[in-house]
Amino acid sequence: MPDQDSSAESRWAKATSRAQGLADLGLEAAVRRYFLIYLPLTVTAALVVGFVLAFLWPEVADGFVRSGFFFGSLLSGLGLVIVGMVYGSKRLSALVRPSRIGVTVGLTAEEAKHIRRQVLAKEPIDPQHITVLRGTAVQMREGLAKQLLWSPGFLIYFAGQFLLRGTVTVFDIVMNVLLLGMFVLLFFVARQFHQTGVFLTSTAASEAGNAG
């Protein structure tokens, strides 16, 4: 038992050290800016190019408008994935400081699970580990924010496929189910991003009290 207690104390001490000072310096504002500026600009530019391609494409069998939206949606999807990943790498990564390995690395799988569940308000908060909880929340929030940036690109890309093909074969049905699943996944990612923000706001006073 003493050895187990000592090992647990060592794990938590290392996790606390990694979590110390981790801070979200404006992820929510950066994500909002992406959806209000970069996403609409990317989609608009892609649609313009898509309609130009539809106009220049010889023998457009599905009609100019439908073909324009099809090409535009494919280009929008690809463009948003690229822009989202670049924006996430360059902009979002700079808003989490300092940059460190995962806070929960070294904790047992069960301990890490309970940490995440506390951050997502599925379990009562353990004040003893508030620094680890907040550090984990910041890192979770960064990962979720990056998913929010590139996920719409995949949705729009597959929606473009659906626009052209409709539902004809079993493959089309599978693709439609996948598209629906991606919408649901995006909803949960956005929800967890919001929950991590609520957690950081609600525990800010506790962290300050521990620091004092």
pLDDT digits (tens, 9 = 90+) for 89-144: 999 989 998 877 889 998 999 999 999 999 999 999 999 999 999 999 999 999 99
Q: How many CB atoms lie within 10 A of CB 20?
A: 15
- The per-residue pLDDT for range 18-59, each reduced to its tens digit, is 999 899 999 999 999 999 999 999 999 999 999 998 888 766
How much is the pLDDT for 170? 80
First-to-final CA distance of the chain: 33
Question: Residues of the chain with pLDDT > 90: what percent?
Answer: 61
Which residues, listed in sequence order, are joined to residue 23 by a DSSP beta bridge? Answer: 97
pLDDT at 70 over 60: yes
Residue whose entry in the numeric block shows the structure tokens 């629906």: 180
CA-CA distance, 198 to 191, in Å (whole number)? 11
169 pLDDT band (50/70/90 cuts)?
confident
What would the DSSP string read from start to end of 49-102? HHHHHHHHSTT-TT-HHHHHHHHHHHHHHHHHHHHHHHHIIIIIGGGEES--S-
The mean pLDDT of the chain is 87
Q: What are the Cα distances from residue 128, in Å, to 16, 141, 195?
A: 10, 21, 21
Give the number of domains in the chain. Answer: 1
pTM of the predicted model, to two decimals? 0.87
* CA-to-CA separations, 106 to 16, 111, 132, 140, 150, in angstroms, rounded: 11, 10, 12, 16, 29
CA gap 131, 18 in Å, rounded: 9
By the 8 A CB rule, do 133 and 115 touch?
A: yes
What is the extent of the structural domain holding 159?
Answer: 2-211
Q: How far apart are CA 199 and CA 56, in angstroms?
A: 52
